[in-house]
Amino acid sequence: MDYMILIHADETAVVPNPGTPEFDEYLGAWTGYNQRLIDGGHWIAGGSLQGTDTATTIRRSAPGTQSVTDGPYTETEEQLGGFYLVRAADLDEALDLAGGIPIPSASIEVRPVKFRPDAA
């Protein structure tokens, strides 16, 4: 079964500066996690999102009406910062995979994918 793992975190959290040993360690943890997913046959897709200052939201209140605004869907302390689409045997395995995400502080949501037209 396929699962979406959504990573919600404070986008103002300090990330080490590129070119420093701390950044190399930070990035190495993420690279290692991604490789674990790939090697285990779990990886389908994943990505890190740009900040909410780059978001544009389309709101539909009724059929045929919509408004476009700059910014995220909601204003919260934690923003959707990235995602993984993984294949796991069951929810327990998906939770184990999500639990390995190398982020010190976040809310990680795991949801089964209901339908994916390109799935085999």
Q: What CATH number has the domain bearing residue 76?
A: 3.30.70.1060
Task: Show the tokens assigned to 73.
Answer: 């869907």
Number of compact structural domains in the chain: 1
User: For residue 14, which phi and psi values (nearest 5 degrees)?
Assistant: -75, 125
Domain assignment present for 63: yes
Domain assignment present for 103: yes
Domain assignment present for 120: no
Domain assignment present for 12: yes
Q: Which residues contact 54 (CB under 8 A, 6 or more apart)?
A: none
- pTM above threshold 0.75: yes
Domain assignment present for 46: yes
Q: The domain containing residue 70 runs over which residues?
A: 2-112
Domain assignment present for 40: yes
Q: From first to last of its 120 residues, what are the pLDDT tens digits of the chain? A: 999 999 999 888 888 889 999 999 999 999 999 999 999 999 999 999 998 889 888 888 888 888 888 876 666 677 889 999 999 999 999 999 999 999 989 999 999 999 878 776
- Cα 55 to chain center, whole Å? 15
